[in-house]
Amino acid sequence: TCRILYATQTGTSRRLSQQLMTYLSQEFNEDITHKNITITLNAINEYDAEERLVSDAKNNTTLIIIMSTYSSGSSAPDGQWFCKWLQDFANDFRVDKSSLKGLSFAIFGVGDKAYGEDFCLVSKDMDRWLKQLEAIPVVSTQLSDVSDSVGFDKQFKEWMNGLSTNLSNNSVISSEIDSQEDMEEEDQLNESANKIVDIEDIVTKKSKLESNGVVKDMITPELRRELTKQGYKLIGSHSGVKLCRWTKSMLRGRGGCYKHSFYGIESHRCMETTPSLACANKCVWKDVLFRRQSNGSQTNGQSKTCRILYATQTGTSRRLSQQLMTYLSQEFNEDITHKNITITLNAINEYDAEERLVSDAKNNTTLIIIMSTYSSGSSAPDGQWFCKWLQDFANDFRVDKSSLKGLSFAIFGVGDKAYGEDFCLVSKDMDRWLKQLEAIPVVSTQLSDVSDSVGFDKQFKEWMNGLSTNLSNNSVISSEIDSQEDMEEEDPLNESANKIVDIEDIVTKKSKLESNSVVKDMITPELRRELTKQGYKLIGSHSGVKLCRWTKSMLRGRGGCYKHSFYGIESHRCMETTPSLACANKCVFCWRHQTNPVGTEWKWSLDNPELVFSGALSNHYKMINEFKGVPGVVAERLKEAMEVKHCALSLVGEPIMYPHINSFVRMLHNKSISTFLVTNAQFPDAIKQLDPVTQLYVSVDASSKQSLKRIDRPLFRDFWERFTGSLTALSDKGQRTVYRLTLVKSYNVEELEGYAYLVGLGNPDFIEIKGVTYCGTSKDSHITMANIPFHEEVVNFSVDLLKHLNSGCESDSKARYGMACEHKHSNCVLIANTKFLVDNRWHTWIDYNAFARLMQEYYRSDGTKTFSSLDYIEETPDWALWGSQERGFDPNDTRFYRKAKE
């Protein structure tokens, strides 16, 4: 467990903690998926150190603390109890000084160097107290100066990267030292980590000399840009002048400031200036160096309201909304302080448009919407009621078309260009509906492609900056049009804002030409970095291989996967690979959380099958070689693993999309390597053209059009026709065919009749029924543990499905299907066609030598000499059968239980 705790006064530490949570969740995505790591985020006052800290130490927890400094070097108020308790605990002579042995920690101190000796004092103290109790730092405690915004952000990223690196190197995750060599390496890490690093200690020697020998300007280049943007006219290196809003007011005959009333000054003849932008205080009620004038932002004495609403499916829009909330709160800090602006953040389903939207328009509210796109271009589920109501309201002839006059809005659409015409469709519609009712856009509605992660983040920041600039220039805050002159000045803004801007419309002409004339690689540099980090070995421009956890398990004698139990494969001799990382679906339970590319056709550069084949084998063998000397590895199995006998073409993506799939499969067969190919049933023609494979799978994730659309989120508009066409094509294959049903509670477990109908289309040899694997819920998936069926629930579903499949049979002896095998360890059950019940014994296993021989005869005859699934069967052992005491676990291996399950 990694616990992220923060103590904050102004929100900085909370923002950093959220950023760290997102970063670590991405970095350790696979570990979270396999429940190797749990990462939590809490305010420090929500963590009861007295009850939990010693227990956390015993459980080898990592405590990551983002600590803001308050007056006199103490913690921000919400962290003071924690710090007081820790100080007392560390200094109590009755307390065992190894009480926190096993706890690891990392501290990022947030302070301001202007406070001298008090700078980040609480972070230094916490570092000392934790070490007194034998807690071990994962990374050096970092003390960072928040007033140096550029250096501060840079140092946080470097500290965050260092923390991630040390965690990934198992300095914390693997709490046991396996050898003297490991102990020596850890000693070096701890020696380095025991030193507290000040932010200025890591600048270059040159910059240190410069800061000691050269007198700096008060106005830094960054500060100059910021103040100029805010309307300051800067003078020299430390002075400035700006036109007061009361000067403008009196010029228009609208009244002067209080000094006019109290002392008789003429406000329109008053100059507001300063010879020194610096101050010796940091008052809570104003930010001197980043001051924002309200410029008449109040309307009739009421504060301006900005509502941020988000609709999200995978968490992206929520994350962006939180980022926007933090950004605007900083940008309009003074306006918020003086209650000129109120900024709120809510999920869109928490906002009752029917009750509040017209009222908000009358109060000149700004509505800022971050809108995710779901299937068919509609809103994510939590925004569908809002959109339906708005659509009806805009199109109702009885509704006044100026009902939302006074409302201003900004929309950021989140979608995926792979969906073609449906890309961000709901955002375009909302823009149109709001304008129909005379709401005015503050900034152009932005449509952004989430699959282009680099461009996506950049575009969001640019949109966010544009929104902030327009708000600060009173295009919204000053909601009344005061004169024809003002109206003429505002019109160009609105004219510009009325145009919807697609993310690709703002790239340069050169990059457009390049994108049109150059075929891109499927694996972008960013995707390559991400997948490499996750343990993939990438091949060429579109393929990959990764070591399956069952391969590792069987190498250690801890049992194989369900294919070992059902079909007799040797899991330690199985290679899991794909010639195409791309897919035509974005399934809600995707174990890769939709990080792979998507597309409906091959649009990328193409590698030859020889490159893919040789790259897959060589990289697989390199990964196997890394298990030499690993404790528990069975030497004989390690030797056998260096000769691959099986290939699972199911790693990720859609392997059947690869144009040279038949050539690639033939290379595997020529090496006597069996092939288990999985397809998502969106390419029926490719299934028809596919040469025989050992076993051909089709994923059947739902039994109705509506459910399939909701679960698989396919890119094709005719996805249902393609789906049923793929199943029908399967029935024409002579070799072994399988339906793979992934059960997701609350999604697809109550559609038995529909599944029975689909079985009739494809007549598969086998039906695998498996409970969905939990892949975490943080960023990309709405699947929770509540959606994961227990094994007994999978068994019950299988028994009920079998009744539907055999409902038309006169007797058990005439049954088409039967319960053949189960693998409780994988939460999986196998239903088999009764043609594999030979002499009352199940023959679900495969004679791999016979298959290799049959394939060579097929190739030599140019495909004229065919064979059937019954030509390469083998009897299933008793321990793998349905109802056996072992429940599918090979008795030759030893079941491994994690500590938590013992």
Is residue 200 pLDDT above 90, yes or no?
Answer: no
Is the pLDDT confidence value at 885 over 80? yes
Please report the sign of the dihedral spanned by the C-alpha atoms of residue 670, residue 674, residue 678, residue 679. positive
Decide if pLDDT at 202 tops 50. no
Q: Please answer whether residues 186 and 178 qualify as being in contact, where contact means their C-beta atoms are separated by less than 8 angstroms.
A: no
Compute the average pLDDT of residues 112-136: 93
pLDDT of 410: 96
* Per-residue three-class SS string for 794-813: HHHHHHHHHHHHCCCCCCHH
pLDDT (0 to 100) of residue 29: 79
CA dist., res. 346 & res. 310, Å (int): 7
What's residue 247's pLDDT?
A: 86
591-613 pLDDT tens trace: 444 456 777 888 889 999 999 99
Residue 301, pLDDT > 50, answer: no
Distance in angstroms (rounded) separating the CA atoms of residues 265 and 622: 82
Report the run of H or E that residue 58 belongs to, with start and end: helix 49-58
Q: Tokens in use for 138?
A: 């994962």
Q: What share of the chain is helix, strand, coil (3-state, %, to 5)?
A: 45, 15, 40
Contact indicator for 592, 527 with CB cutoff of 8 Å: no
Q: In angstroms, how far is CA 558 from the centroid of its own chain?
A: 32
The model's pTM: 0.51
Q: Per residue in 221-241, pLDDT tens?
A: 878 876 775 667 899 999 999
Burial 204-225 (b: 16+ CB within 10 A, else e): eeeeeeeeeeeeeeebeeebee
Q: What pLDDT score was predicted for residue 400?
A: 83
Residue with the bigger pLDDT between 27 and 554: it is 554
Predicted local distance difference test score (pLDDT) of residue 302: 55
Whether 2-169 and 304-473 share one fold: the answer is yes
352 pLDDT higher than 50: yes
pLDDT band (50, 70, 90) for residue 214: low
Q: pLDDT: is 889 or 532 the higher one?
A: 889
pLDDT of residue 872: 97
Instruction: Report the DSSP beta bridge partners of residue 369.
Output: 309, 411
Tens digits of residue pLDDT in 169-180: 865 433 332 333
Query: Do residues 524 and 534 make contact, with C-beta atoms less than 8 angstroms apart?
Result: no
pLDDT tens for 39-95 read 999 999 889 888 899 999 999 999 999 999 988 899 998 898 899 889 988 887 777
Does position 431 have pLDDT exceeding 50, yes or no? Answer: yes
Report the top-level CATH class of 2-169: alpha beta
Q: Which of 237, 227, 366, 347 is nearest to 291 (CA)?
A: 227
Task: Enumerate the domain spans of the chain.
Answer: 2-169, 304-473, 525-880
Q: What is the pLDDT of residue 162?
A: 92
Backbone angles phi, psi at 343, to 5 degrees: -115, 125
Which structure tokens are listed for 499? 């145009």
Q: Using one digit for the tens of pLDDT, what is the confidence trace for 672-714?
A: 999 999 998 999 999 999 999 999 999 998 888 887 887 777 8
SS3 state of residue 821: strand
Which of 188-202, 391-405, 822-836 holds the top average pLDDT?
Answer: 822-836
Helices (H) and strands (E) in the chain, counts: 31, 31
CA distance 725 to 256: 77
Count other Cβ atoms within 10 Å, centred on residue 560. 27
**What's the CATH class of domain 304-473?**
alpha beta
Instruction: Give the residue, 525 or 606, on which the prediction is more confident.
Output: 606
For the segment 313-328, what is each residue's pLDDT rounded down to a tens digit?
888 899 999 999 989 9
Closest Cα to residue 758, out of 725, 734, 782, 787?
Answer: 725
CATH fold for domain 525-880: TIM Barrel (3.20.20)
What is the per-residue pLDDT for 361? 93
pLDDT in tens, 765-823: 999 999 876 554 444 455 566 778 888 999 999 999 999 998 866 556 566 899 999 99
Q: Which residue has the higher pLDDT, 591 or 902?
A: 591
Mean pLDDT score, 454-463 = 90
In contact, 551 and 569? CB cutoff 8 Å: no
The region of weakest confidence among 263-277, 324-338, 574-588, 802-816 is: 802-816
Helices marked H in 731-847: 752-762, 791-805
Average pLDDT across the chain, whole number: 82
